[in-house]
Structure 1
């Protein structure tokens, strides 16, 4: 497993590291509260060229991002508040996982049984007040 330590000011280096090690458009982000999952995902989505973010009717669990032409670019799922895999199925997770766009999932361990075999696994760890350790693994 390869890794990088970065600060918020160095987030573009972390994004380049992620993109270079990408094994799938499905990214699963692991890390405790405050590890920087959401911040990194938002920076990654911006780097991909998202120009507009719209919330689906699922009240913050699923966000859709579009490119300048209005095409769906990425989904961002925050599974922290999900009660289980059945709730994820009710939200349409199977359709989202079957798309050809990028899918970024926080707290994927809450829906582990629904994930396809190939994902880009991202592990974040707090390393002091201003630094994070990003480790990249590949499942599948």
Structure 2
């Protein structure tokens, strides 16, 4: 189990690096948290740690963004918040991405839970009363 308290944005890169080091073989990460919890902001840090210099933004309307690492490897960033039904994920060809062996970072995975692979890293971001965040993760 991985768990870190984050008190400021300045700490995110360090926590992102620890997360990736803690799960070195995993490639699919499902990010859970309420609206405004900081999922996209944390994913920006994860992408930087993985070696992408691309502008990381929420793919809310596109459903998926692809970022490239310096080694020309893909990182796929999904946001399923606005998905209307599971068929949209099929139309997107989600399987090609999820089973590609590339990093897949998924926001709002609860919208496609039945389609998620058997093994992934569940990352939860919980906002505390003092506005800090608890970022916890485990393989499921």
Instruction: Please indicate the TM-score interval, normalised by the length of the shorter structure.
Output: 0.7 to 0.9
Cross-structure match for 2:135: 134
Aligned length: 136
Cross-structure match for 2:22: 21
Structure 2 spans left out of the alignment, 5+ residues: none
| CA–CA distance in structure 2, aligned partners of residues 105 and 89 of structure 1 | 15
**2:97 is aligned with 1:96:** yes
Cross-structure match for 1:106: 107
**2:43 is aligned with 1:47:** no
Extract structure 1 runs of 4+ deviating beyond 4 A: none
Describe how 1:38-77 pairs up with structure 2 within 5 A: 38-53=40-55, 59-69=61-71, 71-77=72-78
Deviation for aligned residue 1:53? 5.0
Deviation for aligned residue 1:130? 4.1
- Deviation larger for 45-54 or 28-37: 45-54
Deviation for aligned residue 1:51? 2.7
What does the per-residue CA deviation read over 1:2-54, in whole Å, with 9 as the maximum and x for residues that have no partner? 31111211112211231132151100000100111000001110111113359
Structure 1 spans left out of the alignment, 5+ residues: none
Cross-structure match for 2:120: 119
Deviation for aligned residue 1:82? 0.5
- Deviation larger for 79-88 or 20-29: 20-29
Equivalent residues of 2:81, 2:108 under 8 A apart = yes
Deviation for aligned residue 1:129? 5.3
| CA–CA distance in structure 2, aligned partners of residues 106 and 129 of structure 1 | 24
What does the per-residue CA deviation read over 1:47-100, in whole Å, with 9 as the maximum and x for residues that have no partner? 111133599xx953100001235x242000000000121111111111111111
